[in-house]
Each structure stands twice: as structure tokens, then as C-alpha cells.
Amino acid sequence: MTQGVARPVVVINNLTVKKYAGPKNDKIKIPVYIITTGLVIENTFTTPNIGYKDLFQIADFLQYVVNINKNGLDLSGISTLTFKVKACQDASIIMSNSDDGNSSKPMYDVIIGGWSNQKSAIRRRNDDSLTPGSQQMVTFNTPDICQCDEYRPFWISTTNGVLMMGKGLIVGINVIAEWTDLNPFTIRSIGIYTNWGIIGEWKIKMNVPVPHVRTVLIARIWLIVTDVIVGLDIQVSTAKLEQLPSNAKQVDDFLQFTKVTPEDQGFYVCRATNDAGVDLEVVQIIVKGMQQPTTHERHIAPTIKAPSSITARYYSQVNISCQISGYPKPNVTWKFNHNKISEHGATFLIPQVSNVSRGIYSCVAENDAGVSEAHIHVYLSGDKPKIVTPPLSVVVIAGKPYNMSCIATGLPYPTLTWTFSSFLHQDQPLPVHNTTTDGTVITLTDPKEAGILTCTATNEFGIDQEASNIIVRKCT
């Protein structure tokens, strides 16, 4: 394939043309809709045995990463990734702000099946300084998530600074890890690696936004043509490559009929070509006669009245409603982020909104006179964190465990992290400790050095911090 030129893809569904008796009903009107979609790239990869390499300890870490962008495309608009991986443990995805292998740029590291296949993690590194202040990490319990001899499916989403990972190939379903980056960056390259001497086999699909992608609706025929850099030559003919009927003609990229008759029934071929290749798709047209309607009411294409956006508070119930008119009564379906979902009716109910609910909901109304579609953006509101029970300054006995607590409110519930600053040393890591799953309690299992213990609460709406002094006395 020529670099920068995408092979054309044609997708068409079968069509039934209904010819109504009566005047002014013998011509098919062809509505055309233009929307932007993406270029789907699928590739397979093998990540070699690199021994053990830690992102937080090696400055030039990208040298160990396999770049999955084989086609040299601009990945700056990518927000989702679906893939399957076969590895015993420690399968990782690197998403970097650099498009030329510069390890000094910010990067995310999503680890699947680390810690002997018991935990997964989302990590961020700001630069190549390797200082603790430039590094962040959150871990999640995911026992036996990887499999040595079986491909396991996963997805990753990076929308509005919210990093999420889940099982399966449907983005937003079966979430297993979620973290909000308060200072997100643009992802310009994606790579993969396997750690601890593991060799990994990968099957990766990317939906990359590209220019000049057209979706054309031809009277219930969806014709999707991808056009990158070079122009397309689109031709429509009968399945036997004969000339089109005299009452049919190709207008730009779609097929138009006038005065439909049973003789127009048959199979038609759409052929798309460019320098990168050729694609063909066949559509069957079936002409059905109908009896004279018992009423003379004019058939009217659907119209939809709906809000352009809805802002809902986290975890609340939301009803998205569309007011629909048209005759005959339109059939209503719904899409979420341009993917069909199994919901019908003029009202869509979200029982409890969360990060996975954020996006574009499309109400689609269709009858034999036409199709109408309305897009409603769902945004989320919440409250910034507030630490209501801060950790208290204490005097502890060296070597004896001590519990410290920190309770915060916020919507969504904030993530709690603990840091430590020694009175005597700079960049001192946290003393030996354990924390509860929600981070509200930290146990200093072997305190030896005095310093400042800080509790930080973060969510997408803000941050709050409280600090306490830890004074360590030796046991006498």
C-alpha cells in the first residue's frame, strides 16, 4: 500500500423500493447526508523479550517500545483503541505526546496483568527526569487477567483527560480501570511492550480520524467511501456490468431512479477505486407494488425536536427525549457515539450517569418518506473535592505501626493519594506502608523518620490537600 493512501471501503445495505399508487409518487427522492467518520487500521504485532525495564527508571524508555503506527498516520485525534493480546502477564500500552520517539515528552503507560498477573495500572510520566514529582501511578486489582495461550480482548479510551480500560471490544463496557488526568496531553504515538521476559502477540484495531470521509445515504442505502489524499473514481453498474436502466443515473456518488418499475429490480454494483486499490459492493433492489392507500394523507418525512446538549450531575438519572413528527409514524432507534444501541422509542433512559455515559446520543427517526437524525451531547457536572476529615499531626514510636485517616467528599468521588516529605531529606518516598482500597486509611508499618504526610484528593473538577506532621520518637 502506498503510504498516506487508504484503500477505499464501500459498505452498502440491501434496499426495498416501495412504489405507492397515486399521483406524484412515482419518483424516488434521494436524500444525501455528509458526516465525518474514521479510517480503520488493523495490524498484528509481536513484542519481544526485553527482560525487565521500568518506565520510572529508564530515561530513554521508548527505545524498548514497538510503534503500532505502521502507516505513518497522524494519531493526534485518536481517543479509543481496541485490541487482543496473548501474553502470560505484563502487557503494556504506551501513549506518548511525541511522534518521533522523544522520551522526554509526557506519556501514559497502561499495564495489563502486572505484579504476577494480579494487578493492572495506569501510569503517567511527565518527562525523562525520573524524579518522583514527575511520575504518577494508580493500580487496580485484576487477578488472572492475561492468558499465556489465549487472546484476551481489551479497549482503552482517553477522552477529556479520563483514561479508562475495559474487557471486551465494546468501548465503555466492562470497565476495569479509570483515572482522571487533570492536565491531559495530546496523544501523538502509540506503542506496545511486554515486560519481565514475556513475549506478546497482539491484534490491534485503530479508528483514526482522517479528512475527506463521506457517508452518503441513498434511499436507505448506506454508501461509505474513504478518500485519503488521492481522489476516488466511483462507478455504479448492474451486477452483470451492463449499462444502467434508462430511468436510472449516477449523480456524483449515488444512484437515482425516476418512475420505478418492476423491471428495475435486480442487483447493482458500486465500484470504488483509487491508487491504493479497489473495493466492490453489491446491493439488491426489490420493487414492491402497494395498494391505493385508504386515506389520501400525504406521507411526510420525520422531523425531530431535541435539545442540542444536556448537562447532568454524576450518578443521577437522565431521560433524553425527542419530539418526533411524521407520517406514517416513524420508527425510532438510538445511537451512542455513532454506534447503534438496542433502544427504541422517543425517550432514552440512563439510570445512573458516569464517565462511560458521556458522549453523543443520536435519535434516528425513519419512515418510508425519509430519515431524520438529531444529536444530543451529554455532559457531566459535579463537585470539586473537599477533605472533610484531614489527617492529624501525631507523635509515633519508631518501628510501631500507626494508622492515619483522610476522608473527602466530591462528585465523582475523588481519588486519594498520600505523599511524604522528610524534614531531613528531599524527595523522600513514603515510608513503608499499607493503604485501604479507597485510600482513606494509610498504615505506617515501620515509621523511622519525621516529616510531613500529605493527603491529596483529586477528581476532574479540582484538587484538595491537607498535611500533617509526623514526629518519630525512639522507643526507650
pLDDT digits (tens, 9 = 90+) for 351-388: 999 888 989 999 999 988 888 889 999 999 999 999 99
Q: 196-205, 260-269, 376-385, 463-472: which has the minimum mean pLDDT?
A: 260-269
**Number of neighbours of residue 351 by Cβ within 10 angstroms:** 9
The Cα angle at residue 407 between residues 401 and 412, in degrees rounded to 5: 135
Give, in order, the Cα–Cα distances in Å from 263 to each of 115, 146, 285, 292.
68, 57, 10, 21
φ, ψ for residue 115 (rounded to 5)? 50, 55
The third-level CATH classification (topology) of the domain covering 40-209 is Jelly Rolls (2.60.120)
Tell me how long the chain is.
476
Q: How many CA atoms lie within 13 A of 219 on its CB side?
A: 21
Please, are residues 290 and 359 in contact by the beta-carbon 8 Å criterion?
A: no
Would you state the pLDDT for residue 379? 93
Q: Are strands 38-47 and 80-87 parallel, antiparallel or unpaired?
A: unpaired
| 177: enclosing H helix or E strand | strand 175-180
Give, in order, the Cα–Cα distances in Å from 241 to each of 225, 238, 244.
20, 5, 9
Would you state the pLDDT for residue 73? 61
pLDDT (mean) for 25-53: 59
Q: What is the largest CA-CA distance in the chain?
A: 105
Give the three-class secondary structure for 118: coil
Q: List pLDDT tens digits, range 113-162.
A: 999 999 999 999 999 888 888 888 888 999 999 999 999 999 998 888 88
Q: List pLDDT tens digits, range 427-476.
A: 678 888 999 988 999 999 888 888 999 999 999 999 999 999 999 988 76
Would you state the pLDDT for residue 55? 80
Position with higher pLDDT, 212 vs 192: 192
Please, are residues 109 and 194 in contact by the beta-carbon 8 Å criterion?
A: no
The pLDDT of residue 251 is above 80: no
Would you state the pLDDT for residue 254? 65
Q: 64-68, 99-103, 183-187, 211-215: which has the minimum mean pLDDT?
A: 211-215
Would you state the pLDDT for residue 188? 87
Architecture label for domain 300-381:
Sandwich (2.60)
pLDDT band at 81 (very low <50, low <70, confident <90, very high): confident
Residue 444's identity, in one-letter code, is L
Would you state the pLDDT for residue 476? 64
Position with higher pLDDT, 174 vs 217: 174
Helix %, strand %, coil % for the chain, to 5? 5, 55, 45
Residue located via cell numbers 416513524: 330
The third-level CATH classification (topology) of the domain covering 1-27+228-293 is Immunoglobulin-like (2.60.40)
Would you state the pLDDT for residue 274? 66
Of 471, 467, 472, 473, give the one whose Cα is nearest residue 419: 467
Residue located via cell numbers 518506565: 55
Would you state the pLDDT for residue 218? 31
Would you state the pLDDT for residue 320? 93
Would you state the pLDDT for residue 363? 92
Give, in order, the Cα–Cα distances in Å from 330 to each of 303, 324, 347, 364, 367.
9, 8, 14, 9, 5
Do the domains spanning 40-209 and 384-473 agree at the CATH topology level? Answer: no
Please, are residues 167 and 174 in contact by the beta-carbon 8 Å criterion?
A: yes
The pLDDT of residue 9 is above 60: no
Position with higher pLDDT, 242 vs 214: 242
Would you state the pLDDT for residue 389? 95
Q: List pLDDT tens digits, range 401-430.
A: 999 999 999 999 999 999 999 888 766 788
pLDDT band at 276 (very low <50, low <70, confident <90, very high): low
Evaluate whether the domain defined by 384-473 bears CATH number 2.30.33.40.
no
Residue extents of the structural domains in the chain? 1-27+228-293, 40-209, 300-381, 384-473
pLDDT band at 313 (very low <50, low <70, confident <90, very high): very high
Q: What is the mean pLDDT of the chain?
A: 79
**Number of neighbours of residue 344 by Cβ within 10 angstroms:** 10
